[in-house]
A and B are shown apart, each in its own frame.
Chain A
């Protein structure tokens, strides 16, 4: 597309009317006169400014003209590559700019410069190509004085086009108890697991039933595995794996009394939480148990995963939420979230926010990167299930009512964005990926709700393509297996992998220092140059040493002072804008 290199070669996009190219041999006099006039005009305009600026400007103009000259003599009215808006650049920012090394170290400088350059290029290109994601998210807007939460699903279904309208449907399955729901990663396939043993997988958009079985046992949870070929069902005693035709593939005896499951798609791990307080990880690509952790916290019936770092969150009856990775036998983090037990936990796609609901009927939003609470809401009935959509809509089920909230973390919410009454008590709910649909399993079957603005409109075709063909699916499967991330790499902070292992590094460094007898990385001590004629007196030497002392520290201090100043300036401007607010100095006023 529009690359920076070629852009200046292109003819102007927004051209004026095309004239025949002017030639010098055609009525030269006239041109000259005209040009002179133009020049005079410019002069007149320029006289208002001061002289040096004028000359400078002229010079600049000339150079520019020279640079952008084509063989035809026309100059490019939009020289250089097309500008990219700042916020879009910000969106694709990968890292902060590096500080340049001070002096010397030429190779290091070159390396750093190269990396900076490529990073910048990658950022810019990505920002440019953002143009190729044209889809916008939907939204729901009521009339004046009309709450969006009072709009019924039927109204929405009537208002939208037929295909979208068909996405609102109810499945009346009152026989086999409340249903658990799971959409697969592409959002095409739906898995329903009734408490009384009913399992059904449906291609829900075409309403095609793929298979339907009754396992003749109670079911506590169902989960798709990496593709729509296989799914796991947590039955009364063991964990079973079926294929899409309903054939039992495995019965995994190592996993007993499973209550909740999560599938980590990039690691091919199935994480299960059992009533015996065990958290187990099953690698579904090789069929091996990766880790079994005894959490010692009682029955584990609240579970979710952080899609950002593949850490499992478990909610407990003592109001805490614990974070787990398969590599550590103890919880990575333990947070006290509620005064009562935790009923439901969910984490948003970017791994920034965690929403919890508890027995104390509260709904809390946490910044899970800093483990700090952001918002706290009181729901009169408390929320039994929570789910976050790709675009950050939160659905909460309280009894037989499903509410959907928008922007729970940024601005305080007083009423839901949407609400819907079900026929029975909600048992499981999940937003469908890449669709404006919320699937709710309840006591009386399954309801597929329309929630405008829930799904991510632009999908990544290489990652999860809802429209993929069979062949594409096969290819994706192979590729995904090749790119499988090992379970050892699950950490709280995924960027840790890119960091130097300080502990080992330090140890090795110490050994090296011992062997060499000196520190090869140590900063060279500054030795002042010897000067003649008494200018290398002890005092002078000390003075010169002082001039370069603590250079690093100085840099840091300088930086911090600058930041402070900037902040202060910013504050000042703010104060100026809100003239009513008082400054700290005002206390000295009469």
Chain B
């Protein structure tokens, strides 16, 4: 009876569990592969339920089923043992006691719960409380034990572990292998003591006490802490000498602490202040600072004028910087907002104007009462001689009366006038300052101004037109020269024109032979310049230019500082063109031949040497103490001599132009040609006088990639051949060797010579050391584990000593040699 009750209870419980787990399985069937219960069991459960009900009905037949129940129980217990075997469907024989209600497919084996076994453990006194508790917790713990891993998986893990182990073992060698790879030289067998005499130093430092007497002595010394090497002080004494006294250390520590604390305070403070966003705060702060500074400055003027002067200089520099930065122009936030408002608001307009005035005031150039501007200009030009010190430097800062010491002196003349004056000044800079022409220019100042404006306007127009280069240029040429066709032909024609004009000049005056040459030259240069695309800028002036050689000459050394200056120069030229021809007032020397034509064209060219400058460079005359007595008669063949004489007489007549022509030819050969593939009449009207449209021309013009600039680009008197030297390329390296990434690295490494001609013997030995040296007949054994240990020890003792042994070996080797 008791049994029955229990069983029924158990079954009830089971049912609930099953239900729960069923819910689980339903929910997580997809995810969890290891669900404890399978369907077979469920069915069994159903059956069990029925079973129970039937059992309750037939209590009388207990005797029969008892046996079976016991069997079941046993089975269940044995099933608890862990391994879940696939239960074999037990086929029972037809028995005597066969209940028709207890037909069970697989023997009705259901599991035994722990509670079944220990259910009455509470009641037994013998079991200690602790175990009871443990059991209870066990009972509550309803987790199932995970299935053991599959064979493959476990093997994989094992393999992994084994690999790791092997890898660590192997990587121990990594260091030594790397070291050997990087070593400059390896001598095999590796750890062999080099034969032959050792270096003195190693012998000395490696000396060790060997005989028993020595050992005893040294042990005694070391035991008493007596010095072994340095005989003057014992280690203890040295240590005491080294140590600071306690008080001293204390004081020092306190000092340091204090300093650190102060520093941190200050840092914190400044950080806080820096983070304050209020503009007003900063404004006030700055103002206060300024005031403070001024006060201090005034005080300083009285007490320490030298320092004050320095301070003043600083201020001045700051002001200069500010002025250069043009801070007060209309670029600020405020100014911008005002600019927007200005259209509608009178006040805003006024404020803006004020602002601009301030800017003007600030950026105005100041003039001291002592020096006028021209002097200053001259001084600026005469910067070469250090004796010339501007006077106001000396007397400037003594008499400070106004609050703003640098606001003394009168303002400059109006800027427009100044500009003109400026240019005039520049012309004065010529080595043999020709003043007359300059003065003329001065008189015509206003006229020039007007002209300047006009030209400026024209220039701007031109620039606007330049946007679409090709077509406009050609059109313009057509307009100007009435010669249609390609650019080149136009240029050539232009050149011819120039030459013609030059010829005209040559007719004019016989004395000015040099000028003639120059004009010729000018024309050639003009031709060169015209090949540039911006030629049309010069076109208007080109013809006139040659007529006014003198003006160009005077402009020879004009300094071009900015782009504006360049523009100004061209304007000046054009101005000169407009002015009537002036008679030459001064004899031109060779120096003046350095015209500015090339300089003016582009400032890059300025860097190179001007051909005329080269050839007519001022040469120092050398006095020879002994007078020449014998003439050059030995130039034996008379004809040759005559030829030489003729050459001498007409020296430099055509040499330069010939050379320039030659150079131009060379340049032209190198230049990539533009191929024009336009077909007139395709897609538009053709016939006489009609031109293909600009668009079309642009489309069908094939431009090749421009060559890199010639090597003689900036050397007017030199033609450097651009031909590639193929004979040397056979001997050159044409692929970058392995570790190098770029040319320069490789080239630099092979740059230094290695031969005996250029190096000392020791260096040669070092450079040409073989990487691996093996000894004849010696057995090279693989590295032993001890080597590794030794290496490790070395690494631990000294970080760099790992490399040492090989180096020393190498040293010894070289010494042996």
Selected A-B contacts with CB under 8 Å, 9 pairs: A70-B204, A118-B763, A125-B760, A126-B759, A126-B760, A375-B620, A416-B624, A425-B633, A491-B725
- B residues at A contact (CB < 8 Å): 182, 184, 199-201, 204-205, 207, 226-227, 229-234, 237, 241-242, 252, 255, 316-317, 320, 323-324, 365-368, 376, 379-380, 383, 385-390, 392, 396, 406, 408-409, 609, 611, 614-615, 617-626, 628-634, 636, 644, 647-648, 651-652, 655-656, 658-659, 662, 712, 715, 717-721, 723-725, 727-736, 738-741, 743-753, 757-760, 762-763, 766-767, 811
Cβ of A403 < 8 Å from any Cβ of B?
yes
Contact B723 A24 (CB under 8 A): no
Contact B760 A122 (CB under 8 A): yes
Contact A415 B625 (CB under 8 A): yes
Q: Separation in Å of the B608 CB from the closest CB of chain A?
A: 9
Contact B767 A98 (CB under 8 A): no
Cβ-neighbour of B715 out of A149, A371, A521 (below 8 A) = A371
Cβ-neighbour of A362 out of B182, B619, B634, B763 (below 8 A) = B619
A87-123 vs B: 1/0 string, CB under 8 Å?
0000000111010010001011011101100110110
Chain A contacts with B in 533-590, Cβ cutoff 8 A: 578-582, 585-590
Given A372-B715, A590-B406, is A339 in contact with B760 using a C-beta cutoff of 8 Å? no
| Set of chain B residues within 8 Å of A105, measured between Cβ atoms | 739, 741
Contact B741 A101 (CB under 8 A): yes
Cβ of A23 < 8 Å from any Cβ of B?
yes
Of A31, A325, A414, A498, the most chain B CB neighbours within 10 A belong to A498
Contact B631 A399 (CB under 8 A): yes
Contact A419 B733 (CB under 8 A): no
Cβ-neighbour of B647 out of A110, A112, A340, A579 (below 8 A) = A340
Contact A489 B728 (CB under 8 A): yes
Cβ of A150 < 8 Å from any Cβ of B?
yes
Contact B718 A334 (CB under 8 A): yes
Q: Separation in Å of the B746 CB from the closest CB of chain A?
A: 6
| Set of chain B residues within 8 Å of A519, measured between Cβ atoms | none
| Set of chain A residues within 8 Å of B743, measured between Cβ atoms | 499-500, 502
Q: Separation in Å of the A314 CB from the closest CB of chain B?
A: 14
Q: Separation in Å of the B229 CB from the closest CB of chain A?
A: 6
A392 to B242, CA, bound (A): 61
Q: A69-B230, A71-B204, A320-B659 are in contact. List 16 more A-B contacts (CB 8 A).
A: A6-B201, A9-B201, A22-B231, A51-B255, A58-B242, A98-B744, A98-B748, A112-B749, A334-B718, A375-B620, A377-B620, A399-B631, A416-B622, A580-B388, A587-B376, A590-B396
The 8 lowest CB-CB distance pairs between A and B, nearest first, are: A339-B652, A580-B386, A376-B619, A340-B651, A501-B732, A504-B734, A488-B727, A24-B231
Cβ-neighbour of A503 out of B199, B406, B662, B724 (below 8 A) = B724
Contact A398 B628 (CB under 8 A): yes
Cβ-neighbour of A336 out of B237, B379, B656, B767 (below 8 A) = B656
Cβ of A141 < 8 Å from any Cβ of B?
no
* B619 nearest CB neighbor, chain A only: A376
Given A112-B745, A340-B647, A377-B620, is A32 in contact with B237 using a C-beta cutoff of 8 Å? yes
Q: Separation in Å of the A576 CB from the closest CB of chain B?
A: 12
Q: Separation in Å of the B603 CB from the closest CB of chain A?
A: 17
Chain A contacts with B in 353-386, Cβ cutoff 8 A: 359-360, 362-364, 371-373, 375-381, 384
- A residues at B contact (CB < 8 Å): 3, 5-6, 9, 21-24, 31-32, 35-36, 39, 51, 58, 62, 69-71, 73, 94-96, 98, 101, 105, 107-108, 110-112, 114-115, 118-119, 121-122, 125-126, 129, 147, 149-150, 178, 195, 317-320, 325, 327-328, 330-341, 359-360, 362-364, 371-373, 375-381, 384, 398-401, 403, 412-416, 419-421, 424-425, 427, 443, 462-463, 488-489, 491, 495-505, 508, 521, 578-582, 585-590
Of A62, A331, A419, A421, the most chain B CB neighbours within 10 A belong to A421
Cβ-neighbour of A340 out of B648, B753, B766 (below 8 A) = B648
| Set of chain A residues within 8 Å of B255, measured between Cβ atoms | 51
Contact A360 B648 (CB under 8 A): yes
Of B205, B376, B651, B757, the most chain A CB neighbours within 10 A belong to B651
* B248 nearest CB neighbor, chain A only: A51
Contact B655 A333 (CB under 8 A): no
Contact B182 A339 (CB under 8 A): no
A267 to B735, CA, bound (A): 28
| Set of chain B residues within 8 Å of A578, measured between Cβ atoms | 386
Contact B723 A328 (CB under 8 A): yes
Q: Separation in Å of the B203 CB from the closest CB of chain A?
A: 11
Contact A73 B609 (CB under 8 A): no
A582 to B381, CA, bound (A): 10
| Set of chain B residues within 8 Å of A21, measured between Cβ atoms | 231
Of A58, A380, A424, A443, the most chain B CB neighbours within 10 A belong to A380
| Set of chain B residues within 8 Å of A579, measured between Cβ atoms | 386, 389
Contact B624 A403 (CB under 8 A): yes
Q: Separation in Å of the B317 CB from the closest CB of chain A?
A: 7
